[in-house]
Structure formats: structure tokens, C-alpha cells
Structure 1
Amino acid sequence: MKKLALTVVTLLSLTTAFAQNWTVDKSHSRVGFTVTHLMLTDVDGNFKTFDASITSSKPDFSDAVIEVTADVNSINTDNERRDGHLKSPDFFDAAKFPTFTFKSKSVQKVEGKKYKITGDLTLHGVTKPVTFDATLTGPVTMDSPRGKTEKLGLKINGTIKRTDFGVGSSGSAVVSEEVEIKAAGEFAKAQPK
């Protein structure tokens, strides 16, 4: 029994030891969305304050855990009045629900650089499973002033229904219920300490 416990502990520590951590380069990344206004035109927005990370021990990233957090108060649609309305209880209620989060539960390779990422999205106090399409590029090794670094790119795209999360009232005459989520990130492999 002691040998079995020791084997399990050893395997777990080896898995943790080989896990690769990737941190987002915020200056080359974006967490955004698109909605349709009055069933006529698309309006884009993004969150200026966010964080993201990837942890994976497999080279094909099929075991990756992708986490994204964004500050709802940092919403930006290039219109201060609209941004204020979106932060209000009519939509995001940023005072009550200041962040939204996504944490992947599975990453499935479709083909080549294409993946399906399924995980839990928590928005406006509601957590629901969602699936996004993703494209992973890299990793590539680059020279930097601090030596060689490994980088990779991740693009995520998918559609959610905002009223499933209690954001805004139902009906799509003014703002579409379907919201396209678009995120793109450049990640650097964390250097061992």
C-alpha cells in the first residue's frame, strides 16, 4: 500500500514538474466582442483590463488549461455613454459583477492548428458551459534581450447568447442576443525559477 501511495505521489509530482506555464503579453492581445445594433450594423467592443494564462504538459496542448479573466469596468466600445450604459444594471451590472471568467475543461484538436475549447464561462453571476473554436500557432523560439524565449499565439472565436447569462433584457430589436466573442493572445513561456 505504501508503494502504491509513493508511486501515485511520484507520478503527480512528475506531471506537475513537466507542466509548461504560458503568460499573456497584454500589449499584443485582446479580449473583445461584437453585437448587432438595430439588426443593422455590428458594434465592436473590448475589455482593456484582462489577464490570461495557459498551462499544458503535452506538446500538442491537448491537456491545456486556458484561463481568462476580464474587468467589466474596463469595457470599451469607443463611446463613453454606451460604455456607461453597458456597465449599469441594465446590462453587465459591473458594480455587482465586476469580472467575468473563462476556464477550459477540455481542449480537443480538430486538425492542424484548429481546436475546440470547452469550458465554463462565468458572466453576470451565471456560469454555463461554452465551446469556442480556436487556432493555436507556434510555439516558436525567439531571441530577446533576456535570451531565447518561446512564444505562441491563440485565437478564440465563438458565439454566446447574452440573455442566457442574464445580460440585458430579452429581444434583439436594439441589441442582438447573440454576441460574438473574439479573443487573440500572444503568450510567452514562463522561465523556470
Structure 2
Amino acid sequence: MKKIILSTAALFILAGSTFAQDWNMDKAHSQVNFVIGHMGINEIAGSFGSVTAKFTATKDDFTDAVIELSADVNSINTGNEQRNNHLKTDAFFDAAKFGTFTFKSTSFKKVGDKNYQLTGDLTLHGITKSVTLNATFNGTATNMQKKTIAGFKVTGIIKRSDFNIGMGMPAGMLTDEVSLVANTEFVKG
């Protein structure tokens, strides 16, 4: 009987070490931004103000992380209300028809000490494509509520033509390539 109890206790301890940990994005300390070239002489930056994201991982190095993100297209902000409203029309994002965009990871591969290759399915403007982004793990800390937080910076480039966004705009007006930069903090638990 003693062996059964010890074996059961050992099994629970071992199983406990592989339980998935949930991490939720701290919206107050996170941003999802983009930059696009304008007329070959300037770059216009913007962000999405309403974003939710989470990931689940069992490993301390996050290599088995499954990441999910969802953003409200209507929360787009480029610092110019007229441009924001234009981007919401069917000439670009068509926010009335495609009000959210989503990302779900398919792999989070460690490629360096704190660097990862993040691959997943991005659904934007009703089109889903696999994209690969770069992620940098900035470390962990304890916040004021005594919870563990983790910071990541995610960067990459997507093509607006892959998602049929702004197809009426010539490449000389707007670049096809759009740079993505997300600075995020996640709270464990």
C-alpha cells in the first residue's frame, strides 16, 4: 500500500511539471503596430488598439507555446481620423465585413538564446496565409500584483497583396510590404 501511495504521489509530481501554463496579454503594456511606405519618401505607422492574445506552454523555454491573437480592425489608429476611416472601407480592410483579424501559431521554434521563429496562420481580410515572424524573448519579471510576466518583441513583414488589401493603390503610392512590430507583455496564470 505504501508503494502505491508513493508511486501515485510521484506520478502527480511528474504530471504537475508538464501541466500547461496559460499566459494572457497585458493590454496596458502591449502594442501591435505596423509601418507601410508612402510614395517612396515616407513611412506611415499605425496600431490596433483593441487586441487580445494568449499563449499556453508547458516548457520553461516556451518551445511548445501555442499562441493566439485577435484584433478588432475598427480599432486601427494611424494618428489621422480621415485615414483611419478610409482604411476601414472596402478599399482596404473592409472592417464592416471583416471586423477582426486573427493569428494562431503552428510552431514556436527556438533559433538562438532568446530568439524564436514564430510560424502561424494569419487570417486578414477573409484570407488565411501562413506567415513566419521573428520573436525575441525579453525575459520575465514580477509585476506589482506579484504575478510573473514575460516580455516578447515580434517583428516581421507581410505583403498586403497576399490579403487583397488596398489593391487599388499602386505600389508607387503604398509599398506592398508592411512591417509588423508587436511589443507584448504576458501575465502568467
TM-score by length of 2: 0.88
Contact 1:39 1:172 in 2 (8 A): no
Q: CA deviation at 1:39?
A: 1.2
Contact 1:35 1:43 in 2 (8 A): yes
- Point out 4+ residue stretches in structure 1 off by more than 6 angstroms: none
Q: CA deviation at 1:137?
A: 2.0
Q: 1:79 to 1:16 in 2, by over 3 A?
A: farther
Q: CA deviation at 1:143?
A: 5.6
TM-score by length of 1: 0.86
* 1:46 counterpart residue number: 47
Gaps of 5+ in 1: 1-9
Cα RMSD (Å) = 1.9
Contact 1:15 1:57 in 2 (8 A): no
Contact 2:36 2:179 in 1 (8 A): yes
**Could you tell me which amino acid in structure 1 is paired with residue 62 of structure 2?**
F
Whichever of the two has the greater Rg, that structure is: 2
- Rounded to whole Å, the distance in 1 between the matches of 2:25 and 2:91 is 31
- Percent identity of paired positions between Structure 1 and Structure 2: 49
Aligned length: 176
* 1:183 counterpart residue number: 182
* Partner SS, residue 136 of structure 2: strand
Q: CA deviation at 1:139?
A: 2.4
Gaps of 5+ in 2: 1-10
- Rounded to whole Å, the distance in 2 between the matches of 1:79 and 1:138 is 34
Q: CA deviation at 1:54?
A: 1.3
CA offsets per residue over residues 133-158 of structure 1, 9 Å max, x none? Answer: 01012223x263x4x31110011000
* 1:7 counterpart residue number: none
* 2:122 counterpart residue number: 121
* 1:3 counterpart residue number: none
- Rounded to whole Å, the distance in 1 between the matches of 2:72 and 2:51 is 6
Contact 1:36 1:176 in 2 (8 A): yes
* 2:4 counterpart residue number: none
